[in-house]
Each structure stands twice: as structure tokens, then as C-alpha cells.
Homo-oligomer: A and B are copies of this chain.
Amino acid sequence: MTQDKTDKKDDFDLQEFLPYLLNRAAEESSLEFQQVYKDRYGMLRTEWRVLFHLGNYGEMTAKDIGERAKIHKTKVSRAVSKLEQRRYLTRTRSLSDRRVEELTLTTTGHAVYRDLRKVAEQYDAKLAGLFSQDESDLLRKMLWRLAHMS
């Protein structure tokens, strides 16, 4: 009665469902690193991502970040405010278009970025270490593909 016979093909298990697996793997793999930027700098994930974008790509606008990382503009806006409060970045109105704000990391912000980046690098190596070089290369390629489907 609990599991009736109408389900012929019982070969489809939840544990195999890609979106589920992806979410579980994403959550699990984020946990440890999350602890670092949270405990060490009191940052939220979106804040960390914005910081990392600025550190990685240099001066950007909120819109650029939102597009590149697919983060909604309200989230970016709030993250930028918080990072500004903590003096990790500064905003300067663009002269050519005064709606736009150019965001730049401060010296402090850049130091935080470098510190977290080092941790990220090590942590990434640790994760990749679960697999062979070829495998982790392939994994990245596949994930990139999934992330850029639409």
C-alpha cells in the first residue's frame, strides 16, 4: 500500500536527480569555506561574491557584477552597501553617466580579498583532490556548461 505497483520503472531515484545532486554538492562544498568568510569577516555569501568579483576583475559597476554572477540587483545593492559600510570598497559616480557607480576595493578590501582568495585556492585544491586531474577538469567543464545553459 505504501508503494504500489503502478510505478513500474522504479529506477529513477531521487539521489540520482541532477538538480538535487547539484544542490547537495553545492551546499556541502560551500559550508567549510562559508565558515571562513563568515567567522573571519562577518560576510554573507553575496558580499563575498561581490568582493571577489571586484578583486578578481578590478573596477566594476553593480550592474556588471549582477550580470556576470547572475545576482539580482537588489542583492547586489545591499551587498555593496554593507561592503561600503565596512570600508571594503568605495563608490564613485561615473562622469559619463551619473546613474552608474564605479566600485573599487579599498586597501583594506583588497587585503581581505587576498586573504580569502588564498583560502579559496587551498580549499579548491582540497576539493579537486578528491578526483584525478582529468576528472576535476572535466567536472569544471561540465559545471560551467550547466551554469550557462540558458
Contact = CB atoms under 8 A, between A and B. Distances in A.
How many copies altogether?
Answer: 2
Nearest to A9: B121
A68 to B, nearest CB: 9
B147 A25 contact: yes
Interface of A is mostly: helix
Contacts of A29: 18-19, 22, 146, 149
Q: Which 6 A-B pairs have the closest CB atoms?
A: A24-B147, A25-B146, A22-B26, A2-B58, A26-B26, A21-B143
Interface of A: 2-3, 6-7, 12-31, 33, 49, 52-53, 56, 58-59, 69-70, 104, 114, 117, 120-121, 123-124, 127-128, 130-131, 135-136, 138-140, 142-150
